């Protein structure tokens, strides 16, 4: 049996030599064994300058076998039996650099070192770890660029390098990683464009590169990533339009592209049955809001704020009855607030401020009993009177922001029933009546009350300042 086992052990090394660029693999072909794993781990430890939680205390202790050192898992069978298969050192505040010797852990399948204080570069020799499936070096202080050599690791399923200080371009070579499911490179300083080769990653489920300095356009080839579920490129400097092909990726759950320089129209996404988050805010999108968005019935968060959208709010958006956040603020939308908005029973935040909406609030709106934030300020032409019993309609309301409109009638006394209210901004309207006595007594959370430029009378005991 010993003979059979060592035979199994040799085969992968031979195939390794045959299929990869040996110039990049100094250790390739040299018969490694558990002693070389042992050396590699001690070398890893030697470059850790501080270990405040004594996570590596067992490492190198002669009375503890290597496979029992904390964070070390060895293979159980086959050629990797007794060899290091996983290093799991998550959130241990290890301070130091990643030793290149990790690349000598020939049978490593999982290198999981997030949440430490690792400095220096991602060692390019990691590209030698041909069995690696999972590489997570996120939440460290790594600098330098992403080594193109990672593209040699054909088994890789997960790469997470997010929350570091990596620079340079995303290597186009990564397009060779056909098994990749997760690519997370967010919160770094990556520049350049998104390589078009990304469209070769047909098994990708999560493409997450927010908060970098990426420029250029979103490659239209993204339309081939049929398994894509999480898609975020938020807070970069991307230009061009949002590829229509995204609308064909029926597994999508998140589309997060806010804070870029995207132009053109919002694609008429209509058959994304799992889409829960659509964030396109803070871009330069123009045109109308497509009524087909009303087909995205799994949506919980819809953020289109700060674009240059025109036209009306489609009645069809009233179909999105799982919506919790609905933000169309800071656009150039016109027309009335549609009556269908009353169907959005789970809504907790409604932001329609800084548009050109007009007319009265639909009575259905006062059915939104989960509302915490109602912000419709600066539309100038919203009008009509506010219902007498408004505070009963919105028992959870915290922010009531309706200033710079043309609301008339008396200020609703029943506001006092909205006991969570923190802010009332109703200045610059045509409101009348007296400030309800209760405001200072019942509304203990109230920190801001602005009613100036109305026709409201102050009462003796309110103590609020009015212009
Ligand atoms: C890693 O392997 C290379 C090549 O076999 C060898 O030169 C080096 O000393 C090894 N490093 C450690 C720390 O084992
Ligand atoms: C090594 O591990 C053994 C068994 O856990 C322990 O008793 C001993 O104190 C350790 N030695 C050192 C030097 O930490
Ligand atoms: C290497 O494997 C041999 C045989 O299984 C074992 O006796 C030895 O303790 C192992 N060495 C290390 C460093 O784990
Ligand atoms: C990839 O990462 C996910 C978590 O993001 C984890 O559940 C999965 O097990 C990882 N895959 C591998 C091969 O380790
Ligand atoms: C990115 O670079 C800028 C300017 O050099 C620096 O201020 C910032 O901290 C860097 N951010 C990250 C995440 O490395
Ligand atoms: C998508 O992101 C969510 C939230 O971060 C996470 O729970 C989920 O596992 C991710 N899905 C994939 C396929 O990565
Ligand atoms: C979406 O898929 C359909 C059917 O496969 C195809 O005809 C259409 O061209 C695709 N649309 C885009 C924008 O890729
Ligand atoms: C993106 O928009 C910001 C703010 O409008 C602007 O400062 C920046 O120059 C734009 N970048 C590109 C690449 O267009
Ligand atoms: C999508 O919405 C449009 C307009 O609201 C509607 O005509 C169409 O039938 C819907 N398509 C699907 C697939 O639900
Ligand atoms: C908004 O639209 C109106 C009417 O089309 C137009 O007059 C106005 O200039 C636009 N405002 C902005 C900020 O684009
Ligand atoms: C309210 O606004 C609508 C639409 O601008 C307008 O037609 C109507 O006359 C206004 N009503 C009042 C009482 O100002
Ligand atoms: C608002 O709620 C009341 C009572 O719950 C119901 O009768 C009415 O139809 C609702 N209106 C709308 C527009 O949803």
Are 402 and 377 in contact by the 8 Å Cβ rule? The answer is yes
Question: What ligand 11 atom has the least distance to the C-alpha of 408?
Answer: 13
pLDDT at 440: 65
Percentage of the chain modeled with pLDDT above 70 = 90
pLDDT at 16: 35
Beta strands in 220-268, from DSSP E residues, in sequence order: 230-232, 254-256
Determine how many CB atoms are found less than 10 A away from the CB of residue 300. Answer: 14
pLDDT tens digits along 56-76: 999 999 999 999 999 999 999
Give yes or no for residue 175 having a pLDDT over 60.
yes
| Phi, psi for residue 203 in degrees, rounded to 5 | -100, 5
Distances (CA, A) of 218 to 144, 248, 257: 24, 15, 10
3-state helix, strand, coil in the chain (%, to 5): 25, 20, 55
In this prediction the pTM is 0.89
pLDDT at 459: 57
What is the whole-number distance in angstroms between the Cα of residue 366 and the centre of ligand 10?
A: 29
Which residue CA neighbors atom 5 of ligand 1 most closely? 27
pLDDT at 458: 66
CATH code matching the domain that covers 216-226+235-371, chosen among 3.30.310.10, 3.40.50.970, 1.10.1060.10, 3.80.10.10:
3.80.10.10
Q: Quick check: CB of 332 below 6 Å from ligand 10?
A: yes
Q: How far apart are CA 401 and CA 390, in angstroms?
A: 14
pLDDT tens digits along 247-266: 999 999 999 999 999 999 99
Q: Quick check: CB of 342 below 6 Å from ligand 12?
A: yes
* Averaged pLDDT, 221-243: 97
pLDDT tens digits along 362-410: 999 998 999 999 999 999 999 998 877 777 888 899 999 999 999 998 8
Are 276 and 300 in contact by the 8 Å Cβ rule? The answer is yes
More confident of the two residues 351 and 14 = 351
What is the whole-number distance in angstroms between the Cα of residue 236 and the centre of ligand 8?
A: 10
Q: How far apart are CA 415 and CA 430, in angstroms?
A: 17
Q: Which CATH architecture has domain 21-214?
A: Alpha-Beta Horseshoe (3.80)
Residue boundaries of the structural domains of the chain: 21-214, 216-226+235-371, 377-467
What is the whole-number distance in angstroms between the Cα of residue 108 and the centre of ligand 2?
A: 26
* 377-467, CATH topology level: 3.80.10
């Amino acid at each position: 049996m010993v003979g059979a086992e060592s035979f199994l052990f040799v085969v992968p090394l031979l195939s390794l030599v045959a299929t990869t660029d040996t110039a990049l693999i100094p250790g390739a072909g040299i018969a490694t064994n558990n002693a070389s794993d042992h050396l590699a781990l001690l070398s890893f430890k030697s470059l850790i300058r501080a270990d405040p939680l004594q996570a590596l205390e067992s490492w190198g202790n002669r009375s503890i076998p290597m496979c029992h050192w904390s964070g070390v898992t060895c293979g159980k069978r086959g050629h990797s039996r007794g060899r290091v298969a996983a290093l799991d050192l998550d959130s241990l505040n290890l301070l130091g650099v990643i030793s290149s010797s990790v690349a000598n852990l020939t049978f490593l399948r999982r290198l999981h070192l997030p949440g430490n204080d690792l400095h220096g570069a991602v060692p390019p020799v990691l590209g030698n770890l041909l069995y690696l499936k999972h590489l997570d070096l996120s939440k460290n202080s790594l600098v330098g660029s992403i080594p193109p050599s990672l593209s040699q690791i054909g088994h890789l399923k997960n790469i997470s390098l997010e929350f570091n200080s990596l620079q340079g371009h995303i290597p186009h070579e990564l397009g060779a990683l056909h098994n990749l499911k997760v690519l997370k490179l967010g919160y770094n300083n990556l520049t350049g464009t998104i390589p078009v080769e990304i469209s070769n990653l047909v098994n990708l489920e999560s493409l997450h590169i927010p908060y970098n300095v990426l420029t250029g356009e979103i490659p239209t080839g993204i339309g081939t990533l049929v398994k894509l579920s999480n898609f975020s490129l938020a807070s970069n400097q991307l230009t061009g339009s949002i590829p229509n092909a995204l609308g064909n990726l029926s597994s999508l759950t998140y589309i997060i592209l806010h804070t870029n320089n995207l132009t053109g129209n919002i694609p008429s996404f209509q058959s994304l049955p799992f889409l829960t988050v659509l964030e396109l805010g803070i871009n330069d999108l123009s045109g109308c809001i497509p009524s087909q968005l009303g087909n995205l019935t799994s949506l919980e968060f819809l953020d289109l704020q700060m674009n240059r959208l025109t036209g009306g709010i489609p009645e069809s958006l009233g179909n999105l009855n799982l919506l919790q956040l609905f933000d169309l603020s800071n656009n150039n939308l016109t027309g009335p607030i549609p009556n269908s908005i009353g169907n959005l029973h789970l809504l907790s935040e409604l932001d329609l401020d800084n548009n050109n909406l007009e007319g009265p609030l639909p009575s259905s709106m006062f059915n939104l009993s989960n509302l915490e934030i109602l912000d419709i300020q600066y539309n100038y032409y919203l009008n009509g009177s506010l219902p007498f019993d408004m505070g009963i309609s919105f028992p959870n309301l915290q922010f009531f922001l309706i200033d710079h409109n043309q609301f008339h009638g008396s200020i609703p006394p029943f506001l006092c029933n909205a006991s969570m209210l923190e802010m009332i901004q109703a200045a610059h309207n045509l409101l009348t009546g007296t400030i309800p006595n209760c405001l200072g007594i019942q509304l203990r959370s109230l920190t801001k009350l602005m009613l100036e430029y109305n026709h409201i009378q102050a009462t003796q005991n309110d103590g609020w300042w009015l212009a």
